[in-house]
Amino acid sequence: MKKNDLVKVQIEDMGVGGEGIGKVDGFTLFIKDAVIGDMVEARIMKVKKNYGYARLIKVCRPSQHRMEPVCPYARKCGGCQLQELSYEKQLEFKENKVRGNLLHIGGVPDELLSRAMEPIAGMKYGFRYRNKAQFPVGVDKEGKLMTGFYAGRTHSIISNTDCAVGVPVNKEIRECILDFMEEYGIRAYNEEQHNGLVRHILTRCGFRTKEIMVCLVINGETLPYSEVLAERLSQIRGMTSITVSVNKEKTNVIMGPQIRPVWGQTYITDFIGDVKYQISPLSFYQVNPVQTEQLYGVALEYAGLTGQETVWDLYCGIGTISLFLARRAKWVYGVEIVPQAIHDARENARINGIKNAEFYTGRAEDVLPEYYRRYEKEHPGEKAYADVIVVDPPRKGCDETLLRTMADMRPERIVYVSCDSATMARDVKYLREEGYEVERVRAVDMFPQTVSVETVVMLSHKKPDSVINVKVEFGEGEGKVPLDNIAKRAAAYKPKERVTYKMIKEYIEAKYGFKVHTAYIAEVKRELGLPMYDASNAEEELKQLRKHPTAEKAEAIKDALKHFEVI
């Protein structure tokens, strides 16, 4: 099998990125835009040792699960990966993805998973659900202004003002802004030259309130003729907030730290259940309001609150889950690193009349351990109280320090809400080793037409079924246990020294005479399904750069892992 070969492939499975997977003479190929059940013709583009990547040329025999995409730009756009797959099969794919990660990465036994996993919560209609969108602004080859989404893995804009998963009013908003920019000669931002003014258009829409927010991200201090644009946009029914976000940095980060009002309020309001929230341009707020109620409902059910519990909600954002929990808990502590989010959380508690919720600004991996250390010092012998811990971390999952503290605090239940089931499964494995077990699991399809899926896992602290009192006498003589034997057994069961990336790098340099990058070690560990707690930065780097080690360095890394008995 070599590059540029034209092959026919039967698609038998799908990868985590939604790509079709098939084999030709035992050689595995990953083919984007092919769906399970297709017979396709593809051209091989890249060949690895045991697998390769191919580009879809044509579908020779379509799968019974293949659908005509609703959006004509589905293949080009990087937003939707599964529009050509029936929704029923999308849900099956996502459920299997969660199950596979818990099984293979989390080490959860298959029999236990069969009992714990509940049916995925899907939608009746998987389009027009996104209440938030961020659209880059640019120019096409003819110099005409355009906006849309980036093509997959690029910063090339696919011009499209009507996204099929976004709310319909986005089309009217974006066309109004493009017409305004054209009429007043306002230039789009150019990434390469770092000039031009308008970088992105952000929109948010309240599901229950129908309030609309527009925020223009600009490479400058002010937006010329902003009063004219405000007058035009304000004619759109539901328009409540028009702002600008100042971002003059040469960066891929979309929003700037400064939000300046142009017209109306600097926020909109919406409801999840009967809880009201104020949402600013910088707020984290789930993009699918219908499924958010399902997601938080599952989290609340798994928390098992009776009104007497103390709950910690880590990575709480603007208090969306915290305030849901506070209605059923004795007290809720929320932790979030973004100061504006904590300000919004406190304001949201106030407008809902919720007085049993307290919020802290800081990294969860700093705040909770510090609270635990201080409590242990001030109250020796007492438990640093938490009946339930709810954690909803970013895609990279939890820091090991945080997991360690959670386990030490010994809450009755840990409810883990995740947008990445692979890192969630890694953290579940850690918690299982610390005395917790998976009791319930449910996936919630927050993002139809994409490969992303939210998951809620409930872990309970394992307790002994019974207690047996055993009397042991130490010393020499019949019926006594020699102290030397205890020392020997203790040495035998002594935990192994933690193997760090630094140790691996030093071993390789000493033995092979060359250095390896931390990201290369992380890549090899990820391929082997090993956790990467001490190199989350390397994992993030890999997601961006995707640099693979040479075969020689990969073998050296594997040798080091064997030397330190990691594998």
Q: Which stretches of 76-139 are DSSP H helices?
A: 87-104, 110-116
Could you tell me the CATH number of the domain that includes residue 316?
Answer: 3.40.50.150
pLDDT in tens, the chain (567 residues): 889 999 999 999 999 889 999 999 999 999 999 999 999 999 999 999 889 999 999 999 999 999 999 999 998 887 899 999 999 999 999 999 999 999 999 999 999 999 999 999 999 999 999 999 999 999 999 999 999 999 887 889 999 999 999 999 999 999 999 999 999 999 999 999 999 999 999 999 999 999 999 999 999 999 999 999 999 999 999 999 999 999 999 999 999 988 999 999 999 999 999 999 999 999 989 999 999 999 999 999 999 999 999 999 999 999 999 999 999 999 999 999 999 899 999 999 999 999 999 999 999 999 999 999 998 888 887 777 799 999 999 999 999 999 999 999 999 999 999 999 999 999 999 999 999 999 999 999 999 999 999 999 999 998 765 556 666 666 676 666 676 666 666 555 555 567 888 888 888 887 778 888 888 888 888 777 676 554 444 444 444 444 578 878 888 888 888 888 777
Asked if residue 240 lies in contact with residue 265, where contact means CB atoms within 8 angstroms, the answer is: yes
| Residue at 110 is within a domain | no
* Residues sharing a CB contact under 8 Å with residue 40, sequence separation 6 or more, in sequence order: 8, 9, 11, 20, 22, 31, 34, 56, 57, 58, 59, 60
* Alpha-carbon span 178 to 194, nearest angstrom: 20
Same domain for 235 and 195: yes
- How many folded domains does the chain comprise? 4
* Alpha-carbon span 149 to 135, nearest angstrom: 6
Q: Which domain holds residue 516?
A: 501-563
- CA nearest neighbour of 273 among 289, 256, 249: 289
**73 to each of 63, 132, 169, 474, how far by Cα in Å?**
21, 19, 19, 76
* Long-range Cβ pairs for the range 492-497 (8 Å, 24+): 496/565
pLDDT at residue 451, rounded to an integer: 95
| Residue at 118 is within a domain | no
Same domain for 417 and 306: yes
**505 to each of 75, 520, 521, 535, how far by Cα in Å?**
41, 10, 9, 13
Same domain for 376 and 414: yes
Amino acid at the residue 545: L
Same domain for 154 and 258: yes
Same domain for 60 and 159: no
Q: Count Cα atoms within 13 angstroms, Cβ side, for 406.
A: 33
| Residue at 69 is within a domain | yes
Same domain for 303 and 433: yes
Domain end residue (candidates: 223, 238, 272): 272
Q: Which residues of 477-489 are buried (b: 16+ CB within 10 A; e: fewer)?
A: eeeeeeeeeeeee
Domain end residue (candidates: 247, 272, 297): 272
Asked if residue 335 lies in contact with residue 364, where contact means CB atoms within 8 angstroms, the answer is: yes
* Alpha-carbon span 340 to 302, nearest angstrom: 29
Domain end residue (candidates: 272, 302, 324): 272
Same domain for 311 and 268: no
Helix axes 536-545 and 518-527, enclosed angle (nearest 10): 90
pLDDT at residue 110, rounded to an integer: 96
Same domain for 203 and 63: no
Same domain for 385 and 249: no
| Residue at 51 is within a domain | yes
| Residue at 18 is within a domain | yes
- CA nearest neighbour of 91 among 125, 121, 124, 68: 121
* Residues tagged active-site: 419
Same domain for 262 and 293: no
| Residue at 179 is within a domain | yes
Same domain for 429 and 355: yes
| Residue at 283 is within a domain | no
* 3-state DSSP assignment of residue 138: strand
- Within 10 angstroms of residue 294's Cβ, the number of other Cβ atoms is 19
| Residue at 34 is within a domain | yes
Could you tell me the CATH number of the domain that includes residue 267?
Answer: 2.40.50.1070
Which helix or strand (DSSP H or E) is residue 149 part of? strand 145-150
Could you tell me the CATH number of the domain that includes residue 82?
Answer: 2.40.50.140
Same domain for 77 and 194: no
Burial class (CB in 10 A: 0-12, 13-18, 19+), 314: buried
